[in-house]
A = this chain, B = another copy of it.
Amino acid sequence: MNTSNKPVKGFLLDITGVLYNSDPNTIGRVIEGSVEAVNRLYAESAVRFVTNESSRSRKHLFEKLTKLGFTLKEEHIFMPVPEAKRYIKDHNLRPHILEFEDLDTNNPNCVLMGDAEAGFTYETMNAAFRVLHETSDPLIVTLGCGKFYQRIDGPCMDVGGFACALQYACDARVITVGKPDKQFFMTAVDDMGLMTDEVVMIGDDIVSDVGGAQKAGIRGVQVRTGKWRQSWINHSVKPDLIADDLQSAVNMLLKKSVN
């Protein structure tokens, strides 16, 4: 838990489970009050969106949010793919890719994993396993390490478990890019020109959002939407605030920051 009492000058928002809920049959379902909350943040504060999603481009995600009724700027959405690309280039890696596109993948010497979806089959996992099995220093770069995400029809395994599967099978090292990695939060905080103790992160994942932000010196707010579980009351991560939903959190925090 972070004990900063500084006024909140900027907000980082998780997207899925905070702005809308995933639905396998539609583009998603807006969480009540979240459109208005985003509007209020743009009017009265600073806001950036930080998500580990990787299976689609930022443009695609921006268009989806716009269709859902949100008003925001595309460049305010932060996704881990650019950071992953930077890491891969800096370390001369040639990734074998599980579940997203648009990178050179010749003669791979590491595995890059993104959103866990139906494309994670025994065959695709095994192909990644064989790449790692052949290398002397097996390395997995994963965009986030979430345990699960919440869809309208129920909870769904996220990429973290599948990264563990490969790590175990190959005794591989794992590098996490995206939440909860500090660097990812910092990129968005820097973009607002703020200090970490002037910012709050609002998310539905107690580890990736709340715990990750707190480790970066950012106050972490847990919402009771998306994947929220009542049992997290006893979680080792202690949010700075638990709010019913995004709108409730924003209303509480903006009020507070005015005082």
- Residues on A lying within 8 angstroms of B by beta carbon are 116-123, 125-126, 129-130, 133, 147-148, 154-158, 160-162, 164-171
The answer to whether B126 touches A157 (Cβ under 8 A) is: yes
Residue of B nearest to A125 (CB): B157
What are the residues of chain B within 8 A of A166 when measuring CB–CB?
157, 161
Complex formed: what's the CA distance from A165 to B156 in Å?
12
Residue of B nearest to A146 (CB): B169
Chain A interface, DSSP helix/strand/loop, else mixed = helix
What are the residues of chain B within 8 A of A130 when measuring CB–CB?
154-155
Name the contact of A164 in the complex, choosing from B117, B133, B165 (C-beta under 8 A).
B165
The answer to whether B129 touches A118 (Cβ under 8 A) is: no
The answer to whether A161 touches B169 (Cβ under 8 A) is: yes
**Would you give 19 A-B contacts (Cβ < 8 Å), ordered by A?**
A117-B122, A118-B122, A118-B123, A121-B121, A129-B148, A129-B155, A129-B156, A129-B161, A130-B155, A133-B155, A147-B169, A147-B170, A148-B169, A157-B165, A157-B169, A160-B168, A161-B166, A164-B164, A164-B165
Complex formed: what's the CA distance from A52 to B82 in Å?
43
What are the residues of chain B within 8 A of A162 when measuring CB–CB?
165
Name the contact of A122 in the complex, choosing from B119, B160, B164, B170 (C-beta under 8 A).
B119
Complex formed: what's the CA distance from A161 to B140 in Å?
14
What are the residues of chain B within 8 A of A154 when measuring CB–CB?
130
Complex formed: what's the CA distance from A204 to B57 in Å?
45
- A123 CB to closest chain B CB (Å) equals 7
What are the residues of chain B within 8 A of A158 when measuring CB–CB?
169
- A150 CB to closest chain B CB (Å) equals 10
The answer to whether A157 touches B118 (Cβ under 8 A) is: no
Complex formed: what's the CA distance from A219 to B169 in Å?
25
Name the contact of A161 in the complex, choosing from B118, B148, B165 (C-beta under 8 A).
B165
What are the residues of chain B within 8 A of A125 when measuring CB–CB?
120, 157, 161
The answer to whether B168 touches A164 (Cβ under 8 A) is: yes
- A227 CB to closest chain B CB (Å) equals 10
- A197 CB to closest chain B CB (Å) equals 31
- A71 CB to closest chain B CB (Å) equals 34
- A200 CB to closest chain B CB (Å) equals 27
What are the residues of chain B within 8 A of A156 when measuring CB–CB?
126, 129
The answer to whether A168 touches B147 (Cβ under 8 A) is: yes
